[in-house]
Structure 1
């Protein structure tokens, strides 16, 4: 095992705590469930996790250290990520303002977007890219990997295998949690997609995304 158990188990517990804290990933998953059901949300989850893999690979390649060391690079990524989160929030609020189609009924569990080829169309690709871009342009995962993950690496062993293993563990925790979260939200979709409730949730999700974007913009290293 690349990572000794006495380091892997505490990392697993800490990774779980970090993952379940509400953030942009959960806000995006909530919105995708409302728009297209759990199948569409799973595309966003895959995008989020792919973004985490990018940060993990960047750490292994030393790019995360460069990002944190360079004030200009960090600021550029930070503001780009903040602007993207704000844009997603504005889009959610705009969606909430659109009138519901006449005679539209709340969506039930069977109305969710299928998990098959239909989920891989333009909407699926868009959901994946939203998760990917929002994670890659967020400097917080880079800081997490750079400052948190090395604490669980044994310098006496191979650093690269341990880094990749811990990255995989963190991604797996995210996969389990976000998939379960999307499923739970999907179970309540019939209620959540009632016109008034959906509009309120879209506004709330939009406000959360905008707030997260502002927080990222003004966050110091």
Structure 2
């Protein structure tokens, strides 16, 4: 890839990452409810999904992705239902004995798989990688191109989502009362449910 193509791809991915969508909502919600580390574990799952899309697009498998249309629809609605269920759990969560504990504790594996499901069912990612992404990369790609694109994706989406997560985590620390924790739970739950709805209606 030429420098101009790389910079154009980086800029486009940065803009795409800044625009709020299911991934941003999920990361903010997880930061509120479970903290920074859990949010980064969720983002790692999203990043793995991005890598899958990148490899699919670069190696000319978009036709296979289109052929799997019904499967993508199933994944989308399962992911949407799962996010809404997680949001409902947070919305109904009671105050824990730890004044800064919110929601139900999740494992690294759960966070990773949640992120993977969100990433694979994210309509913006599917449209970008299958429809627009090929315009930024050469027709014949090499292993170096694949590595470079993955690095660009990690830098663009990682930096923006890191910022969103840090802001949400710092905002959470301001509120320590039982009432504030209840508000945080309900806010995080509502955001997670909204992310599920966004995926379901294909925004």
TM-score range, shorter chain: 0.7 to 0.9
User: 1:15–1:173: 8 Å Cα contact kept in structure 2?
Assistant: yes
TM-score normalised over the length of structure 1: 0.74
User: 1:82–1:138: 8 Å Cα contact kept in structure 2?
Assistant: no
Give the Cα–Cα distance (whole angstroms) in 2 for the partners of residues 10 and 122 of structure 1: 37
Could you say which residue in structure 2 is the equivalent of 1:115? none
User: 1:56–1:164: 8 Å Cα contact kept in structure 2?
Assistant: no
Structure 2 unmatched runs, 5+: none
| 1:20 positional shift | 1.2
SS of 2:82's equivalent? Answer: helix
Give the Cα–Cα distance (whole angstroms) in 2 for the partners of residues 158 and 101 of structure 1: 52
> Residue 75 and residue 86 in structure 1: after superposition, are their counterparts in 2 closer, same or farther (change >3 A)?
same
**Which of 110, 118, 129 is matched with 1:126 structurally?**
110
User: 2:72–2:121: 8 Å Cα contact kept in structure 1?
Assistant: no
Could you say which residue in structure 1 is the equivalent of 2:187? 204
Could you say which residue in structure 2 is the equivalent of 1:117? none
Could you say which residue in structure 1 is the equivalent of 2:165? 182
User: 2:84–2:192: 8 Å Cα contact kept in structure 1?
Assistant: yes
Could you say which residue in structure 1 is the equivalent of 2:81? 83
| 1:189 positional shift | 2.7
User: 2:135 aligned with 1:151, yes or no?
Assistant: yes
User: 1:32–1:40: 8 Å Cα contact kept in structure 2?
Assistant: yes
Could you say which residue in structure 2 is the equivalent of 1:56? 54
Q: 1:166-202: CA deviations, max 9, x gaps?
A: 2431222111222232223222332245433333233
Could you say which residue in structure 2 is the equivalent of 1:118? none
Structure 1 unmatched runs, 5+: 112-120
SS of 1:188's equivalent? Answer: helix
Task: Return the index of the structure with the highest Cα Rg.
Answer: 1
Give the Cα–Cα distance (whole angstroms) in 1 for the partners of residues 180 and 62 of structure 2: 41
Q: 1:78-104: CA deviations, max 9, x gaps?
A: 222322222222222222xx2x246x5
TM-score normalised over the length of structure 2: 0.80
Give the Cα–Cα distance (whole angstroms) in 2 for the partners of residues 42 and 215 of structure 1: 21
Could you say which residue in structure 2 is the equivalent of 1:38? 36
Number of matched pairs: 200
SS of 2:138's equivalent? Answer: coil
SS of 1:154's equivalent? Answer: coil
> Residue 125 and residue 192 in structure 1: after superposition, are their counterparts in 2 closer, same or farther (change >3 A)?
farther
> Residue 198 and residue 68 in structure 1: after superposition, are their counterparts in 2 closer, same or farther (change >3 A)?
farther
| 1:130 positional shift | 1.7
> Residue 60 and residue 153 in structure 1: after superposition, are their counterparts in 2 closer, same or farther (change >3 A)?
closer
| 1:19 positional shift | 0.3
Give the Cα–Cα distance (whole angstroms) in 1 for the partners of residues 5 and 17 of structure 2: 18
